[in-house]
């Protein structure tokens, strides 16, 4: 592999600047297109608890059921929970969120992402979140409460374990949504009017 007869070399500053100019321009274009809500960005956050708030969530295809998350053995976060965490899994097939705010607590500072606060809402598809706290004023259409979690069919591919209480609805509207999440998986967001910053307080 490395046995080619290679001499010593070094970084050529002129070429470095040229390369950085090209990739930097492309990156800036991507960021601007995402902030305009043209391109969709994918999120999967786990391990760190993070907060999501929104003034209003309007979704079609809604499921909610409970799940038990096991922490790693001897996890320092286990406390008196015995290493198990009951979480609410909420899944929405397509959602529109106005005034979305996400923040991850990094100990001292928070990484805060806001979007959808300038007229164009954030759109999300296949949003699946594990949360230990969901609050807000919700109204549902065609809700089915008490259905077995293994028979849910409003969000394709998302099902719970057999024998677990669950509910699902065709449409959902939640105002003043607040979620304390542990994991978001495979969610695609179109983040119109994206703003990202480090701030002392979260959402």
Which residues make up the interface to other proteins (CB under 8 A)?
1-16, 18-20, 23-24, 26-27, 30-31, 34, 39-47, 67, 69-70, 72, 89, 111, 113, 126, 128, 130, 157-158, 183, 185-186, 196
d(CA 182, CA 81): 16
Which is closer to other proteins, CB of 16 or CB of 142?
16
Under 8 Å between Cβ of 88 and 64:
yes
CA 199 remoteness from chain centre? 19
State in angstroms the smallest separation of the CB of 127 from other proteins: 10
Q: Which is nearer to other proteins, 39 or 143 (CB)?
A: 39
Tokens linked to 156: 């394709």
Nearer to other proteins, 125 or 171 (CB): 125
Name every residue whose Cβ is closer than 8 Å to that of residue 183 and which is 6 or more positions away in sequence: 44, 45, 46, 47, 129, 130
Q: Which is nearer to other proteins, 2 or 200 (CB)?
A: 2
The dihedral over CA atoms of 78, 88, 194, 192, expressed in degrees to the nearest 10, equals 170
Give the nearest distance from C-beta 138 to other proteins in angstroms.
22
State in angstroms the smallest separation of the CB of 183 from other proteins.
5
């Amino acid at each position: 592999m490395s046995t080619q007869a290679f001499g010593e070399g070094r970084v050529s500053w002129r070429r470095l600047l040229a390369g950085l100019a090209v990739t930097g321009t492309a990156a800036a274009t991507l960021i601007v297109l995402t902030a305009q809500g043209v391109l969709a960005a994918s999120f999967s956050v786990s391990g760190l608890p993070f907060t999501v708030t929104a003034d209003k969530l309007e979704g079609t295809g809604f499921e909610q059921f409970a799940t038990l998350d096991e922490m790693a053995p001897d996890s320092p976060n286990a406390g008196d929970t015995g290493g198990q965490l009951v979480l609410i899994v909420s899944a929405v097939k397509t959602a529109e969120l106005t005034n979305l705010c996400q923040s991850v607590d990094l100990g001292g500072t928070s990484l805060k992402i806001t979007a959808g606060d300038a007229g164009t809402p954030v759109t999300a598809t296949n949003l699946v979140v594990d949360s230990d706290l969901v609050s807000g004023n919700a109204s549902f259409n065609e809700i089915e409460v008490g259905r077995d979690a293994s028979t849910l069919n409003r969000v394709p591919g998302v099902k719970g374990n057999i024998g677990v209480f669950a509910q699902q609805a065709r449409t959902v509207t939640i105002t003043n949504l607040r979620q304390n999440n542990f994991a978001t998986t495979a969610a695609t967001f179109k983040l119109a009017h994206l703003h990202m910053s480090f701030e002392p307080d979260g959402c």
